[in-house]
Structure 1
Amino acid sequence: MGSLYYGDAAEPILIEDRALAHLKVVVATKLRRNESFTLSWTHPDGAAPGRSTIWLHPSIPLRFVFEEAESPALSRTWIEELAHSANSSGGIALIDEHVEIPPEQ
């Protein structure tokens, strides 16, 4: 489980490593362009039920911490889906990865 440290909050936002790696690409791209936006997610199992949203701004410190030392292979499709939501009025919605299973031969 990865951690996203936002601003001066002592408690991290817990996000699965693979999802956090994809999110990092989209967030870094938006912040590099000096764009502000929201990020919303459903709380993981074991946490209080519900969902949260934060406002991301280039001036607010942000740190990604991964449990795994190796970076996962990234899914271009998932990054594009996250980027598409980032450009909407609702901001990034952390959605699950859609894994396409190739047809059997």
Structure 2
Amino acid sequence: MGTMFYGGEMTAIPIEDRALAHLKVVIATKLRRGESFTVSWRHADDDPRGRSTIWVHPSIPLRFVFDDPEPAVLSRAWVEELANSANSSGGIMLVPEQLDPTPAGSGPEA
């Protein structure tokens, strides 16, 4: 389980490492462009029911901490899905990765 620290060391947001790696790419791209946006997520099953949203701005400190020392192999489709939501009026909605039900090499052409 990774952690995103936002607005100072006291605001720790736990996010699974793989999801955090994908989120980091999209957030870094938006911030490099000087863009502000929101990031929303559903609370974990062991937390009180609900969701949270933060306003991300280039001037607010942000740090990503990963438990796994090796970088995750990124899914282009998941990065694109998060990036598309980042460009919407609702901001980034951290959604679970949608795995392709037919892995490469197992379809009718294989």
Normalized against structure 2, the TM-score is what?
0.90
2 CA distance for matches of 1:5 and 1:45?
21
How far is the alpha carbon of 1:101 from its aligned partner? Answer: 2.6
How far is the alpha carbon of 1:45 from its aligned partner? Answer: 2.3
Compare 2-11 and 46-55 and name the one that shifted more: 2-11
The structure with the larger Rg is 2
Pair 1:95 & 2:95 matched: yes
Name 2:51's counterpart in structure 1.
Answer: 51
Letter in 2 for 1:40: S
How much is the aligned-residue C-alpha RMSD, in angstroms? 1.2
Letter in 2 for 1:36: S
How far is the alpha carbon of 1:9 from its aligned partner? Answer: 5.0
In structure 2, list runs of 5 or more residues that go unmatched. none
Percent identity reads 63
Residues 38 and 91 of structure 1 are in contact (CA less than 8 Å); yes or no, is this contact kept in structure 2? yes
Compare 2-11 and 91-100 and name the one that shifted more: 2-11
Q: Secondary structure at the match of 1:95?
A: coil
Pair 1:24 & 2:3 matched: no
Q: Which runs of 4+ in 1 moved over 6 A?
A: none
Alignment of 1:1-105 (within 5 A): 1-102=1-102, 103=106
Q: Give a deviation string over 1:29-61, Cα, whole Å, max 9, x none.
A: 000000000000001122222100000000000
Compare 35-44 and 94-103 and name the one that shifted more: 94-103
Residues 24 and 64 of structure 1 are in contact (CA less than 8 Å); yes or no, is this contact kept in structure 2? yes
Report how many residues are paired.
105
